[in-house]
Structure 1
């Protein structure tokens, strides 16, 4: 039996982050698929405050929640296999700051863009996302030091944080005709995207376009339920 177990759901970028780290570190794990419309007792007991995925179980230790926390936990217990955080304290801090910024700004913008019915608001969000990606391009140039990934020669912490949303970026291009990263605005990030998609672990982990379509429909259905008659 696997020492590691992960509660997740298809299409979740946050669950994808955890799976990416587990695969990069060659850690065997058991995947427990969760129905977030009918949450299991296991999820409610292990994550009683947020009641969300991912949740990581490791042997008989307390469950660990939140993707960024889980990522760092896995890096600390398996530091000898594919370390994802830089060894330099200043660079580690910069990675954490950018990850926090991505999750508190970029992610809400992309989610609202995906679900908003108002074209005017969509255009505002589109411009915010574009500006955000320009800033991310600058960060990539600094952290990558001329190499293919934020982590240098191979996938690192920020590659996983941002790269876990590559499926959604692809979805935006197909469904809305909006490409968050383009060669003219973001030449370095465009090359990074190609490097990421060529990585076997990325290709085997990022959910398909069909799964993203299904998940977006689920979110839209939930919004209709929440709107008072």
Structure 2
């Protein structure tokens, strides 16, 4: 890879925001170097490339840093026009994808509240309400249903938001995706998880379970202080 075309991704193994970018790069077939960052001991390069937020992901292309996962995803799609497009060409269709991308982010934040909030029941109610809205919205976006094919922006976001749902349900004992209540999202996520490209990118189930247990223990320790 020539230095003028070098692509580097600064990330952290279990960051969902980093995983978004990693998937997008692989969907596009872009060769990249991955640099694992320790956010407790941030590297000089990370601080140089992202002096404002000092966090991952950071994509460095031709020596120029791009930050914030959704911004990076659009940059990737606009820079490398070969291969499958992450967003539709039509401006109106793109606007709809952008809208639901932001909404998936809200649902994802509600998921985190379920695991971290002391009032878990209230957090679950908010999550299920937003998930129901997302289910209805995706029925309008994909009236013919979800099929395993080219992976677009919404596929990446929904996969990263819910790809670890089985491990999360196992550790926290909370039902996240119900095939009867949200059949489209449940089917969508599991269809994506079976794709070879996703299989080689997503950590094994037991590895994810171990991390979620570690995450749960950290929450328990913090709440008991």
Structure 1 counterpart of 2:156: 160
Conservation of the 8 A alpha-carbon contact between 1:169 and 1:180? yes
- Deviates further, 107-116 or 21-30: 107-116
TM value normalised by structure 1: 0.86
- Residue 212 of structure 1 and its aligned partner are, at CA, apart by 5.6
Contact residue 166 and residue 206 of structure 1 kept, 8 A: no
RMSD: 2.4
Q: Deviations over 1:36-84 (max 9, x none)?
A: 1111111111111111100001123x20001111111111111221101
| 2:214 alignment counterpart | 217
Question: In the alignment, which residue of structure 1 is the partner of 2:144?
Answer: 146
Map 1:1-229 to 2 at 5 A.
Answer: 1=1, 3-60=6-63, 62-103=64-105, 105-116=106-117, 118=118, 121-149=119-147, 153-209=149-205, 210-211=207-208, 213-214=210-211, 217=214, 221=218
Q: TM-score scaled to structure 2, two decimals?
A: 0.88
Moved more, 134-143 or 170-179: 170-179
In the alignment, the residues of structure 1 paired with residue 7 and residue 91 of structure 2 have an alpha-carbon distance, to the nearest angstrom, of 28
CA contact (8 A) 2:135 2:185 kept: yes
Gaps of 5+ in 2: none
Ranges of 4+ aligned residues in structure 1 off by more than 4 Å: 222-225
Q: How many residues align?
A: 221
Alignment partners' CA distance in 2, 1:89 and 1:140: 18
| Alpha-carbon separation, structure 2, partners of 1:130 and 1:189 | 12
